[in-house]
Amino acid sequence: METFFNLIQEVQKKGLCHRCGGCVTFCTAINYGALELDQDGKPRYRDAEKCIECGLCYLICPEIHELDEEQKRTVAWSAPMGRILNVSLSRALNPTVRKRATDGGVVTAVLLHLLDRGFIDGAIVTKPSGPFTRTPWLATTHQEILDAAGFHFDTSHGMSLFSTSYSTYVPSIMEMGQPMRRGLRRVAFVGTPCQIKTIRKMEALGVVPSDSIKFHLGLFCTGNFSFGAKESEKLQELGGFQWNDMRKINVKEDLYVHLENGETRTIPLDQLGFMKRFACRYCDDYSSEFADISFGGLGAEEGWTTVLVRTPLGRAVMADARQEVLETLSSPENPHAAREALHKVEEWSERKKRMALENREKLQAKPVFVKS
C-alpha cells in the first residue's frame, strides 16, 4: 500500500507536487491530522505517528494515475479535452459584477445566482489578501462572493512588496473542511484543473469532504506564476511599466497588464517561463476537463468569458442563469465567434498536453534536483 511517504518520493522530490492541498485536506477531515502544509504550501508530515497508512492521500493526488478511469467515468470524460455539451461567450448582466471581474464576470454571476436561488449554501472561492496574494475563502453571502470577484491587486504598498514572494496560485481545497464544520451541505467550488481533478478523485472514492461539493467550476490554466522580487522586477522590464501603475492582470493568449491610466501592456507567455511554477510544466489540463463548467478569457473579446458546459448539471445551471443574470454574445459580424473560441481552447489544450509530455520525457531521461 503506497502512502504519503511514496508521494514524497514519487511526486515531491521530482518537483511535481501541485500543492493543491487535497492530501492534507482529506487527512485533516477525518481527524487524523498526520499532514499539514508548510509556509510555502507544500504538504508534509505534521505527526508521522498519526498516519494510519491508508493510502488514500496517495490515490487522490492529481499526479497519481491509479484512479484515472474512475475519475473519467464520474464526468463521462471523452477525448481530446473532456466532454463539451455547449460553448458560449457570455458576460454578467450586472455592471457592478462586470466592473470587478477579470473577464466577463460569469463565474461571479453564476455563484450569486446559485446562492440567490437557494441552490448553494456557500462557495469556496479566493479573495484578495494583499498585493499579488489571494487566500481561500468560504463565501456564504452575496457581498462575500462579490468581494472575491476578479484578479485585481492592491498596489498601495509599492515596491515594499518585493520583500516577499507571491503567487497566482491559491490552495483552495484547504477550505473544504469549513462546510463540514459549519454544517453546509451544498457548496460550489471554484478552482484550477489540478484542484478539480483531486476533488473528482475524492468523489470516485466516496470520501469526505467531497460530498459537500455540488457544483465544480473550473478555470482555464496555463500555469501558476510566482511574483517574487526578481520575477517582478524582470516582469516590469519586459512590459515597460512601473509597479505602482498596475491595476490588474489577466492571462489569455498573453499576459495582459492593465494600468491605471487605461493602457494595457502585453507580454507573450513563452517569455514568462522564469515565473512559472516547476510542477506546472508537467500538467496536461488547460481547460479544467473534469469540471461541470469551465471558464476563461481565451478566445473571448475583452469583457467577455468563454464558457464550456461539460455536464448535464452544468448545462442546467447555465440555462437557468442565462434567463436571469447572463447575456450571450450574438454578433452578426461574426456568427461563429463561439466556435472560434472553442477552436482556440482546443489549440491551447493540445499545446499544454504536448509540452507536458515532452517535459515528462525529459524528466525521465535525466535526474532533476528540486530544492525542497
Rounded distance between C-alpha atoms, residue 103 and residue 115, angstroms? 21
Cβ atoms of residues 148 and 139 within 8 Å: yes
pLDDT band at 162; cut points 50, 70, 90: very low
- Which has more confidence, 111 or 331? 111
Handedness of CA 74, 76, 79, 81 (dihedral sign): negative
Q: What is the pLDDT of residue 160?
A: 31
Centroid of chain to Cα 209: 19
Widest Cα–Cα separation across the chain: 65
Is the peptide bond between 312 and the residue preceding it cis, with omega within 30 degrees of 0?
no
Question: What domains appear along the chain, each with residue ranges and CATH number?
Answer: 1-66 (3.30.70.20), 67-365 (no CATH)
Q: What is the pLDDT of residue 166?
A: 46
Q: Which amino acid is at 237?
A: E
- Which has more confidence, 212 or 82? 82
Segment of 47-56, 88-97, 176-185, 260-269 carrying the highest mean pLDDT = 88-97
pLDDT averaged over every residue in the chain? 85
What global pTM score does this model have?
0.87
What SS3 state is found at 86?
strand
Cβ neighbors of 138 (< 8 A, separation 6 or more) are 122, 123, 124, 175, 178, 179, 182, 184, 187
Which residues make beta-bridge pairs with 37?
43
DSSP assignment string, 281-342 = GG---SS-TTSSEEEESTTS-TT-EEEEE-SHHHHHHHHHHHHHTEEE---TT-TTHHHHHH
For residue range 223-262, what is the model confidence (pLDDT) as tens digits? 888 777 788 888 889 989 887 888 777 888 888 888 889 8
For residue range 250-295, what is the model confidence (pLDDT) as tens digits? 888 888 888 889 899 999 988 988 888 888 899 999 999 999 999 9
Cβ atoms of residues 172 and 126 within 8 Å: yes
pLDDT, mean of residues 15-36: 79
